[in-house]
Amino acid sequence: MGSITLKQVTKNFDEVNVIKPLDLEIKDGEFIVFVGPSGCGKSTLLRMIAGLEDTTSGNIEIDGQDATHTPPAKRGLAMVFQSYALYPHMTVRNNIAFPLKRAKVSPAEIESKIANAAKILNLTDYLDRKPGQLSGGQRQRVAIGRAIVRQPSAFLFDEPLSNLDASLRVNMRLEISELHKSLSTTMIYVTHDQVEAMTMADRIAVFNGGIIEQVGTPLELYKHPVNEFVAGFIGSPKMNFIAVPQSEDKKTVNLGIRPEHFIISQEQGTYKGTVGVIEHLGSESFLHVTLECGTTVTVKADGDCPLQYGDAIFLSAQENKTHKFDKNGLTIKTTL
Amino acid sequence: MATTNSRTLARFMLLPSVTLLLAWMIVPLCMTLYFSFIDYNLLVPGEKEFVGFLNYEFFLTDPAFFESFFNTLLLVTGVLLITICGGIGLAILLDQAIWGRNYVRIMVLAPFFVMPTVSALVWKNMLMNPVNGLFAHFAIWLGFDPIDFFAQMPLFSIIIIVSWQWLPFAALILLTAIQSLDREQLEAADLDGAGPLSKFFYIVLPHLSRAVTAVILIETIFLLSIFAEILVTTSGGPGYSSTNITYLIYTQSLLQFDVGGGSAGGIVAVIIANIVAIFLMRLIGKNLEG
């Protein structure tokens, strides 16, 4: 009860083509995350699925029914906005009740649904307050509550956590993940934060310039990125790219090595470099190392790494953990 | 910068303008107060003797006073009703993406720039005139008898003229308020299944409440002292049917040369205006808080 299929969907704003023909199948109960840099069309696509933007061409199917021209309210989807979009003059109770009242649900049923949603979201004590009297996290929960009570076939989240501070964001991330597990409703979640994408998603769709670069589970994207863009976007800190002047297979232009896949040695290794700034996080340290060829790479080391600024070290990559990219940025499949 | 020092300095800096404004207000008020207690008629030269509350007694027991008092209330509420309702409608229309929107907005604002005497004359001679007026031509074309607006419905005609002048003001304030409405709220309402009417009553109208309050307060201040439109069109007549308090004071002091009586009327008008202001602030002022 919540599968969404996009068939050759495109979107133009006047002359500008924002979304190039795009196919995507979202399965029922799936938590899919659209991730990409700002301006890549991920929010636009979400708004098209919600019905807030017209689709220029192609079809959007919800539960097998063509919904391309269905008005937003009839699509059975609920959306949580970046600004929360709560109605400021209504109490929390009325905010949550608003969609139910519009749907002419009986007052008794509204009351029980509000109580239920408030219990799930820890809002029971705040039902008679107005949004202005709530903290950011609470407002976020009210927005989710307003979405839950409609029992939609899918939830759409448009960067819902970007207005919260870092620690609250981690909490809300967990809460939304737990909500997904308990409701097992389809959720589409838009974010530019790849950490959110990696931690929450069943599947991630990586957007870039109006196209989907790759769709897959977080680990698939991490282990087998199809091109340089996905490789650089997924994983934190970013993957290091080292230019290869002359490769054995005559195709490899760039070598990608993740910070966590380096072996540090004082005596020998593939690359020689000088340690720059060291970021100590306690559990681990990140070294910024300038290689002889001039490239700066990030290297993950132990928390109690004894190296100092200016030390000379040798680096080499762990076996089978390197990624090779050709001159078009595409991954060269290595037969294992 | 909110140290004790800077605050003291700020008060010092404010002093000249506050003093000037205060003098500007206090001096005429005190003179009016003084005149209202003496027998001061321009036709009777000589001693101006102190008469106590006699001027007030005459003014307040004059049957014309009650009629003009109710006329004032009718004028203010009528114009407020028309400008607020019309202003909201106009603001919503102007908010739509139409071709040449910026020019339309300037055009809509135009009546506000026309001075009251001129707009009253335009209405009197070009539109509402029973012989040459556009409305008369229209009525004849439709087969009706033309209406003599200023004879048959003088106060209503003045309400229409004043509303025409103040509609742009209301529309403009309300338009800016509508533009400040968060579009995501409307989109959320779309998804929540709200139709155009529910969106208007549950989202747009509550959002406008502060702007509406501001419009009511500002307009009331100016509408209590409508004068030029009455002088140019009906001269308060027929009888006292289109006389408001302001116009009554004018008749008293400048047509009957009774400065003392006029001044007493002025003080009464000041008191009435303050009562209305307190009443309004109590009633709708809470909208402006928070």
pLDDT digits (tens, 9 = 90+) for A58-105: 888 888 888 888 888 888 888 998 888 889 889 999 899 998 888 888
* CA separation, residue A93 to residues A77, A97, A117, A156, A262 (Å): 21, 6, 10, 22, 54
Q: Identify all chain B residues contacting A160, using CB atoms and an 8 Å cutoff.
A: none
| pLDDT attached to residue A325 | 87
Q: How close, in Å, is residue A217 to chain B by CA atoms?
A: 30
Q: Please state the rounded mean pLDDT for residues A297-322.
A: 87
Q: What is the pLDDT of residues A8-56, one digit of tens each?
A: 888 888 888 888 888 889 999 899 999 988 888 888 889 899 888 888 8
CA distance A47 to A51: 6
Tell me if B198 and A102 make a contact (CB, 8 A cut-off). Answer: yes
Report ipTM (2 d.p.): 0.78
Q: How close, in Å, is residue A130 to chain B by CA atoms?
A: 12
Tell me if A98 and B187 make a contact (CB, 8 A cut-off). Answer: no
Q: Please state the rounded mean pLDDT for residues A258-281.
A: 89
Whether the CB of A132 is below 8 Å from some CB of chain B: the reply is yes
When the pLDDT of each residue in chain A is averaged and rounded to a whole number, the result is: 87
Nearest to A72 among B184, B190, B202 (CB): B190
| pLDDT attached to residue A203 | 92
Tell me if B191 and A78 make a contact (CB, 8 A cut-off). Answer: yes
Interface test with A, best of B180, B183, B186, B191 (most A CBs within 10 A): B191
Residue A280's DSSP bridge partners are A285
Structural contact between residues A56 and A12, judged by C-beta atoms closer than 8 angstroms: yes
| pLDDT attached to residue B1 | 57
Q: What is the pLDDT of residues A154-178, one digit of tens each?
A: 999 998 888 888 888 888 889 889 8
pTM for this entry: 0.78
Among A183, A26, A151, A159, residue whose Cα is nearest residue A78: A151
Q: Identify all chain A residues contacting B203, using CB atoms and an 8 Å cutoff.
A: 87
Domains for chain A: give ranges and CATH numbers.
Answer: 4-231 (3.40.50.300), 238-325 (2.40.50.140)
Contacts 24+ apart (CB under 8 A), B126-135: B128/B157
Q: Which two tokens stand for residue A28?
A: 């029922």
Tell me if B187 and A85 make a contact (CB, 8 A cut-off). Answer: yes
Compute chain B's Rg from CA coordinates: 24
Residues 6+ positions from B92 with CB-CB distance below 8 Å: B178, B200, B204
Q: Identify all chain B residues contacting A87, using CB atoms and an 8 Å cutoff.
A: 185, 188-189, 202-203, 206
Q: Which two tokens stand for residue B205?
A: 């109208």
**What distance, in Å, lies between the first and last C-alpha atoms of chain B?**
23
| pLDDT attached to residue A65 | 85
Structural contact between residues A322 and A261, judged by C-beta atoms closer than 8 angstroms: yes
* CA separation, residue A118 to residues A28, A121, B144 (Å): 25, 5, 64
Distance of CA A327 to the CA centre of its chain: 28
Provide the angle, in degrees to the nearest 10, between the axes of the packed helices B205-223 and B259-284: 170
Low-confidence residues in chain B, pLDDT < 50: none
Q: Please state the rounded mean pLDDT for residues A260-269.
A: 88
Q: What is the DSSP pairing of strand A203-208 with strand A31-35? A: parallel
Q: Please state the rounded mean pLDDT for residues A123-143.
A: 88
Q: How close, in Å, is residue A52 to chain B by CA atoms?
A: 7
Tell me if A99 and B182 make a contact (CB, 8 A cut-off). Answer: no
Distance of CA A336 to the CA centre of its chain: 30
CA distance A38 to A84: 19
Cβ of B36: how many Cβ atoms within 10 Å?
A: 24
Tell me if A83 and B182 make a contact (CB, 8 A cut-off). Answer: yes
Whether the CB of A73 is below 8 Å from some CB of chain B: the reply is yes
> Which chain B residue shows the shortest CA-CA distance from A99?
B192
B53-288 CATH fold? MetI-like fold (1.10.3720)
Beginning with the edge strand found earlier in the chain, give each strand of the sheet holding A16-26 in spatial order. Answer: A16-26, A4-13, A57-62, A65-66
Q: Which residue has the higher pLDDT, A233 or B41?
A: A233
Q: Identify all chain A residues contacting B198, using CB atoms and an 8 Å cutoff.
A: 102
CA distance A126 to A91: 9
| pLDDT attached to residue A336 | 46
**φ, ψ for residue B133, nearest 5 deg:** -65, 155
Structural contact between residues A10 and A59, judged by C-beta atoms closer than 8 angstroms: no
Q: Identify all chain A residues contacting B208, using CB atoms and an 8 Å cutoff.
A: none
